[in-house]
Structure 1
């Protein structure tokens, strides 16, 4: 009798469990109540929200960050060599001599010998200020740095080529190089300087995607000099 009663309860429990699983299966296949990913897609669900647009007030408050490109934070001036000009036939020998390695194995460029450094300048900080008016963005970009005397120090004026630029992708909106001069007289201490370009004007942006740069540009062309200075002016040939 005990065995018969146990079988009846066991069969009834199996029936109840099967009913619950069947009901759960119906629910998950009809409307995805269990959220297991097997339910039908709800075509009435609203689309996901799109990325919010930049408001006009945000654009007016937008001021592009100024960054330093690689290799533009330092600028050095070197003492000129006192060697006499060589003949053209010695050009190959000069090139071979310039390629000779130093005792530590490195090749020293004769035009950039650390032992001939007069000054070494570095940019330590950059900042900017912006204002909007008449569809234009006006910026003041400031560069702070210092000049350290080198082994060949001589009191005088150093001219540093500082370039300021604003880019929109690959488009150059503003680019200007400034031959900024600073007087250096103390050989025992660094000379601080602050340069500001107050004339940066670009079209007002339609998105926050402008890039501003500041740094030294040693590849900038040197100021043109009058080669005729100190020479007598030749008379023009006579004409009939």
Structure 2
């Protein structure tokens, strides 16, 4: 009997060790303090916002895809230089004073077409915040992406951490991100 007990001793010891390491409060295991300790957040500046009050990022019809053609080849598949598409968007909000500051992230991919050459292509990405018909924020930026002639599709991640508008408009604002091949300007 003692021989079989000795065989199970390492298993019993391991189980006791694991049981002693577990806790009902995961914060105590992770070293961030006890259950009564609250994270320090300065409510006056850069306070986190509940995602329900953080406007979701939407794509307007026709802004999720962008195709560039060689000169005079608009609409001709044989004249495509590159095609880009947006696959996902996300955002994060914080409040600073009376302003809502958002970080908007857009990801996607670019693939070279029959006319592609090795080099950098610039994708025009616009972020717009609207409250009804009122423009709260609008910025167009160029996202550089390196392509290799005959190479695979390249992924890109665009980040704009300066989307700012009055916090009072956060519940009614609509946020859009997408390709904007119009004239390059910053406001």
* TM-score, with structure 2 as normaliser: 0.68
| Contact 2:49 2:94 (C-alpha < 8 Å) held by counterparts | no
Structure 1 counterpart of 2:69: 78
Q: 1:119 to 1:212 in 2, by over 3 A?
A: same
Paired residues in the alignment total 139
**1:2-32 CA distances to partner (integer Å, 9 max, x unpaired)?**
xxxxxxxxxxxxxxxxxxxxxxxxxxxxxxx
**1:97-133 CA distances to partner (integer Å, 9 max, x unpaired)?**
xxxxxxxxxxxxx433111001101000010000012
**1:198-231 CA distances to partner (integer Å, 9 max, x unpaired)?**
11110012562111000000123489xxxxxxxx
Alignment partner of 1:156 out of 92, 95, 119 = 119
* TM-score, with structure 1 as normaliser: 0.54
Q: 1:189 to 1:199 in 2, by over 3 A?
A: same
Alignment partner of 2:161 out of 169, 177, 198 = 198
CA root-mean-square deviation: 2.3
Greater relative CO (CA pairs within 8 A, separation 6+): 2
Segments of structure 1 that go 5 or more residues without pairing to the other structure are 1-56, 82-109, 224-240
Segments of structure 2 that go 5 or more residues without pairing to the other structure are 1-47
Higher strand share: 2
| Contact 1:161 1:220 (C-alpha < 8 Å) held by counterparts | no
Q: 1:132 to 1:148 in 2, by over 3 A?
A: same
Structure 2 counterpart of 1:174: 137
Q: Secondary structure at the match of 2:74?
A: helix
